[in-house]
Structure 1
Amino acid sequence: METNQKKLTWYNLALMAFVSVWGFGNVVNGYATQGMQVVISWILMFSLYFVPYALMVGEMGSTFKDSSGGVSSWIKVTVGPTCAYLAGWTYWVVHIPYLAQKPQGIMIALGWAINQNGTLVKNMDPKMLQPICLVIFLLFLWISSRGVNSIKKIGAVAGSSMFIMSLLYILLVIAAPAITNAHTFKLDFSWNSLVPNFDFSYLTSLAILVFAVGGCEKIAPYVNDMKDPAKGFPKGMIALAIMVATTALLGTLSMGMMFDPNNIPEDLMMNGAYYSFQKLGEYYGVGNFFLIVYAIANSLAQVSALAFSIDAPLKVLLGDADKRYVPKSLTKVNKNGTLINGYKMTAVLVGALILIPALGIGNMNSLFTWLLRLNAVVMPLRYLWVFAAYMALKKAVKGKFESTYQFTKNKAFGFLMGLWCFGFTAFACVMGMFPKGVETFTKEWYFQITLNILTPFVLLGLGLILPLIAKKTNKLSGETHDSLGA
């Protein structure tokens, strides 16, 4: 009886995954990048990429049900310990650009909450704002090092509230023409309006969409908590895909009713969510009420995300580190159980990524958009390890691994699906390196593309250097270890 009570149904799993994978910002970023043409892009993305991705994750989670390390554990079993370390490093290091943008997000949200407009950040010189962002980051780095969890709990509540408001926004915008006298734009469902031009510019925007739908490997541990994983998990994942696709499509239609697809504001990525709730308040005659509530909730959620993302990924990397690959000094903890030297490494990398771009990017809208697009290039690199693990699983000797749920029993087809998702993700990341929204071949264009190429190589390259340092320093401290190729 006790076992049955704790089992998840397919709809429980779908709702849990929906909350962790999707957010209103994905709708805004997609619309800002492609306008109404993103409707077709979303349909293609969900059917050809997201559904197989989620089902692969389900099979991996079911096969390695006793593994607590997630993707790193999958890689360790299917490929080997060296690649497992590199997977763990990738999972941590891709959060560096994410952490670098969070202080901007906090400043923008507070500006809208206080002034009810976006001028606080939008009109500031990056050389002035970015040092302030660095101070904010260092403050929360210090708070996180003290082991304070209350901020994270407050942020979780704020994040849930923001999620509910995002769904409410879609319903209220669609209902606005019938309920109020609100002026909305007439949606154009013609072929030319909806079908993208599959040109170079379009390809550079794919990373934003991949970034939006990735991360469902977080739900893998729950596969074995289901009543009937073989039937329930795929049903839950299909339900998740339908829910996310419906929200994305209805959200895009809502954005199309509110913002002219032929005249999208340049700062929609930075301020689009706030513009949306401000206009929603105007539609229903409540002034800036929706805007203020959303801005306050988002401020708290951004603070929580910053505090959590400083600590959690670092613990994944260093909490149970293999001494062959990580210098012993990085695993040092203070009296609060904080990986203090790991925090210092985080501070150096994030600090550099906060300050250096301000030297070559002239305004805050360009800087915010660039950093968001950089996240879309770097963050999906961790998904590559999911697909690598799945391909290795499908290449394994028959009967070596057993699973209560399988995406496909055909090993060749499974391997090809893993290869497709791996190749598409890598392609989207490479194409995302080309700056968009900046005049081609200008000084700023060269500056941005240089940072876009160097950043992932530097961040991932550091992961290759650490084992060499570990080999040297850990031996000096009396440890004996194998080389990187062990």
Structure 2
Amino acid sequence: MKEEKKLGLMALILMIFTSVYGFNNIPRSYYLMGYAAIPWFVIAGILFFIPFAFMVAEFGSAFKDETGGMYSWMCKSVGPKYAFIGTFMWYTSYVLWMVNVSSGIWVPVSNLIFGEDCTSSWSFFGSKILSGSRLLGVMAIIFFIFITYFDSKGIDKISKVTSIGGTAVLVINIMVVVGSVVMIIARHGQLEQPFLGTESLMVPLNAAYQGSPIMILSFIVYALFAYGGIEAVGGLVDKTENPKKNFPKGIVAAALVIVVGYAILILLVGSFTNYSEILGTDSITLGNVSYVIMSNFAAAFGKVFGASVATQAALAHGFARVYALIMLLALMGAMFALVYSPLKQIIDGTPKELWPGKMGEIAEDGMPKNAMWIQCAIVCIMILLVSFGGDTMQQFFVILTAMVNVGMTVPYMFISFAFPKFKKMKNIDRSFEVFKTQKSANIWGYVVTLTLFFANAFAIIQPAIEGDWKTTFWSLSGPVIFGLAAWIIYKRYEKKLEAGEFNKENTDDVDDENENVA
């Protein structure tokens, strides 16, 4: 039997980097806070990213033979009901992501066709009823039904465009770094948005965040979201050379690279983007700000080297199209993969009888087709409700982004809260340990949980304080509705189990789970 090739330290750092780092987080963070976003990325890295990555690594190493992933970790540590609710909420965070991407994907389409985002002016043959966010909602529903139909046929080959998009995004990062440095040198060190040291790091450029401590604190959810994807790190421990030595080094090194990377790129965005001139209009949204900033990058580059206004405009439109194509490929690839993979993972990892009707069935081609169409209906209903809420395009994307940020960070609380209980377990593989004592596991387990809790609490409460009850409602609705749905599904399963409706083999499996917990 051929021995599996192990990851070296550099390969491990690159794996963690590609799982976590997201370029889109940079222009969005600059738009929301300017240079003042940087300290929050550092705080989120210390209080969440590094300790949480170590926890996930310990879980992954101890339960390396379990196929259920995070469900198995929490089931063994706390119990099957807790594990199911936590895993179900993790899965539904992808449902919220699908709602966001299905609606937001038309922004790169607009940039690709027209060289700028003009979705806010779109209408269906001049109809006022079907215009702006409403038209985007209807188009999003048609798009998502199309994706589900193709995926349900087992046609997942299109997800290969993810690798093309991923490589192209890496090229964009390099271009922005090199291009920005060239512009700074050409301007003899002058930045378009002046950097005033501590003042710039403390005072947000966005007027909405100035003088509002709760709004500033709510930003930490964006920083936490920027570190999302680290649950994938759990499976890398046993694939690493000399994991006891290299894995902690890899986590810390990757964290430093990511934190420093975010900080430097936010600074470089400011080097070619004057906040009030470029981002000070109502037409800028969280959906299109990346394209606005990247268009400005190309125009600013032309301006530094004496290009005419017409040439600058041509460069801006041309680069907006290139960037839009790259993001479209990346989002399409991710959508084709994520419409079925998280759903398949949660169904594979849990008892089939837990799911109502034929929802738990996996087709011969490996696709959970029944569940995919139920998922499609839920996504379409949510898109319809949000898009027809009577909001401006700017508010529409604020709501979608808030839903995803909260929805994707809340499930991490289940893992971090389970960690101290996992540490108390006996007779399990402890070949990889970072938290050597129960006390350190308790402290960091609760620090990470409380960081996530307070960040999400501020993010949910802040819009209501400002009078925006709709964003608060939708931010809270995801975790509450899906958490309640998970609890109802599991209670139904327990009642059927008590009534003896399942065969003996399945009952034994659940009894084994409960014995492990006890």
TM over 0.5: yes
- 2:356 aligns with 327
Change (3 A) 1:335 1:409: closer
The answer to whether the aligner puts 1:298 opposite 2:305 as a matched pair is no
Change (3 A) 1:336 1:30: same
Please give the secondary structure, in 2, of the residue aligned with 1:23: coil
Q: Amino acid of the residue matched to residue 296 of structure 2?
A: K
Work out the CA distance in 2 between the residues paired with 1:435 and 1:356.
Answer: 22
Work out the CA distance in 2 between the residues paired with 1:467 and 1:376.
Answer: 26
- 1:404 aligns with 431
Work out the CA distance in 2 between the residues paired with 1:434 and 1:61.
Answer: 34
Shift of residue 99, structure 1, vs aligned partner: 0.5
CA contact (8 A) 2:74 2:82 kept: yes
Work out the CA distance in 1 between the residues paired with 2:174 and 2:39.
Answer: 21
Match of 2:165 among 149, 158, 163: 158
The answer to whether the aligner puts 1:138 opposite 2:145 as a matched pair is yes
Shift of residue 449, structure 1, vs aligned partner: 2.0
- 1:392 aligns with 421
- 1:419 aligns with 446
Work out the CA distance in 2 between the residues paired with 1:107 and 1:379.
Answer: 22
The answer to whether the aligner puts 1:222 opposite 2:229 as a matched pair is no
- 1:201 aligns with 215
Shift of residue 198, structure 1, vs aligned partner: 7.7
Please give the secondary structure, in 2, of the residue aligned with 1:269: coil
Work out the CA distance in 1 between the residues paired with 2:500 and 2:226.
Answer: 45
Shift of residue 182, structure 1, vs aligned partner: 11
Shift of residue 361, structure 1, vs aligned partner: 4.0
Q: Amino acid of the residue matched to residue 10 of structure 1?
A: L
Work out the CA distance in 2 between the residues paired with 1:358 and 1:434.
Answer: 22
Shift of residue 211, structure 1, vs aligned partner: 1.0
Work out the CA distance in 2 between the residues paired with 1:328 and 1:130.
Answer: 30
CA contact (8 A) 1:435 1:448 kept: no
- 1:440 aligns with 466
What are the equivalent positions in structure 2 for 1:66-145 lying under 5 Å apart? 66-121=65-120, 124-145=131-152
What are the equivalent positions in structure 2 for 1:17-416 lying under 5 Å apart? 17-121=16-120, 124-179=131-186, 184-195=191-202, 199-261=213-275, 264-265=279-280, 266=282, 267-285=284-302, 287=315, 288-323=317-352, 325-334=354-363, 336-397=365-426, 400-416=427-443
Work out the CA distance in 1 between the residues paired with 2:179 and 2:257.
Answer: 18
Work out the CA distance in 1 between the residues paired with 2:214 and 2:239.
Answer: 44
Q: Amino acid of the residue matched to residue 203 of structure 1?
A: L
Change (3 A) 1:279 1:316: same
**Runs of 5+ in structure 2 lacking a partner?**
123-130, 204-210, 303-313
Shift of residue 334, structure 1, vs aligned partner: 4.4
CA contact (8 A) 1:13 1:236 kept: yes
Please give the secondary structure, in 1, of the residue aligned with 2:375: helix
- 2:475 aligns with 452
Change (3 A) 1:233 1:138: same
1:347-373 CA-partner distances (Å, limit 9, x unpaired): 222112101012324222211121011
Change (3 A) 1:358 1:165: same
- 1:465 aligns with 488
CA contact (8 A) 2:27 2:293 kept: no
Change (3 A) 1:65 1:478: closer
What RMSD, in angstroms, separates the aligned Cα atoms of the two structures?
Answer: 2.8
1:224-278 CA-partner distances (Å, limit 9, x unpaired): 1111111100111111011101210111101222333456445252222212221
CA contact (8 A) 1:28 1:272 kept: yes
Q: Which moved more, 1:331-340 or 1:410-419?
A: 331-340
Q: Amino acid of the residue matched to residue 466 of structure 1?
A: I
Please give the secondary structure, in 2, of the residue aligned with 1:327: coil
Please give the secondary structure, in 2, of the residue aligned with 1:66: coil
Q: Which moved more, 1:51-60 or 1:222-231?
A: 51-60
Work out the CA distance in 1 between the residues paired with 2:433 and 2:185.
Answer: 47
CA contact (8 A) 2:180 2:268 kept: yes
Please give the secondary structure, in 2, of the residue aligned with 1:401: coil
Q: What is the TM-score with the length of structure 2 in the denominator?
A: 0.85
Shift of residue 144, structure 1, vs aligned partner: 1.0
Q: What is the TM-score with the length of structure 1 in the denominator?
A: 0.90
1:168-224 CA-partner distances (Å, limit 9, x unpaired): 213311321324799851432332221257811112222111111122120211111
Q: Which moved more, 1:134-143 or 1:448-457?
A: 448-457
CA contact (8 A) 1:151 1:307 kept: yes
CA contact (8 A) 1:111 1:121 kept: no
Percentage identity across aligned positions? Answer: 21
Shift of residue 22, structure 1, vs aligned partner: 0.7
Work out the CA distance in 1 between the residues paired with 2:434 and 2:52.
Answer: 10
Work out the CA distance in 2 between the residues paired with 1:357 and 1:322.
Answer: 33
CA contact (8 A) 2:133 2:392 kept: yes
Change (3 A) 1:314 1:22: same
Change (3 A) 1:466 1:334: same
Change (3 A) 1:183 1:417: closer
Q: Amino acid of the residue matched to residue 263 of structure 2?
A: L
Change (3 A) 1:472 1:410: closer
Change (3 A) 1:94 1:404: same
Work out the CA distance in 2 between the residues paired with 1:342 and 1:177.
Answer: 52
Q: Which moved more, 1:330-339 or 1:64-73?
A: 330-339
